């Protein structure tokens, strides 16, 4: 499932889609809320830094485990220093600088790929509950 992020209002659409999928996958309400919050943060990063992009949601295998996948893709300016962007309190915009480090804490696994001038892809995984 792919949700286009063209305006800030699409952030709401992305997190609602994420909430629906996470609920269907039988995550606990706490996990659903953490996943939805992480989606909101990465979707806002797209809107804030790249202007537009997309959020991909799905179920995948990761290191031999089944996981819910959340991927944020954009063709924006990219991140010059990924290490720095993952530090709490670092932000080049007006946020609290929690977007990426906070999302990493909310999910189980996390990767950022970025090239200056060539966009950013943030990929996050949350292990599916044992019952699912």
Distance of alpha carbon 118 from the chain centroid: 18
Between 33 and 121, whose beta carbon lies closer to another protein? 33
Quote the CA–CA distance of 25 and 130 in Å, as a whole number. 10
- The answer to whether 3 contacts another protein (rule: CB under 8 A) is no
Binding-site member from 6, 37, 86, 121 for another protein (CB under 8 A): 37
CA 53 to CA 75: how far, in whole Å? 7
Q: How far does Cα 98 stand from its chain's mean position? A: 12
Pairing verdict, β 120-127 and 109-114: antiparallel
Q: Measured from the CB of residue 94, what is the shortest distance to another protein in angstroms?
A: 8
36 binds another protein (CB under 8 A): yes
Residues at the interface with another protein (CB under 8 A): 8-9, 11-12, 15-16, 19, 29-30, 32-34, 36-37, 40-41, 44, 88, 95-96, 98-99, 101-103, 105-106
């Amino acid at each position: 499932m792919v949700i286009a992020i063209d305006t800030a209002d699409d952030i709401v659409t992305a997190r609602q889609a994420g909430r629906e999928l996470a609920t269907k996958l039988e995550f606990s309400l706490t996990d659903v809320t953490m996943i939805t919050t992480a989606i909101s943060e990465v979707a806002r990063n797209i809107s804030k830094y790249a202007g537009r992009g997309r959020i991909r949601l799905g179920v995948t295998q990761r290191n031999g485990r089944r996981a819910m996948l959340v991927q944020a893709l954009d063709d924006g300016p990219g991140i010059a220093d990924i290490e720095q962007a993952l530090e709490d309190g670092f932000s080049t915009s007006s946020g609290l600088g929690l977007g990426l480090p906070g999302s990493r804490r909310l999910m189980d696994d996390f990767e950022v790929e970025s090239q200056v001038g060539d966009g950013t892809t943030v990929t996050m995984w949350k292990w599916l509950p044992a019952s699912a």
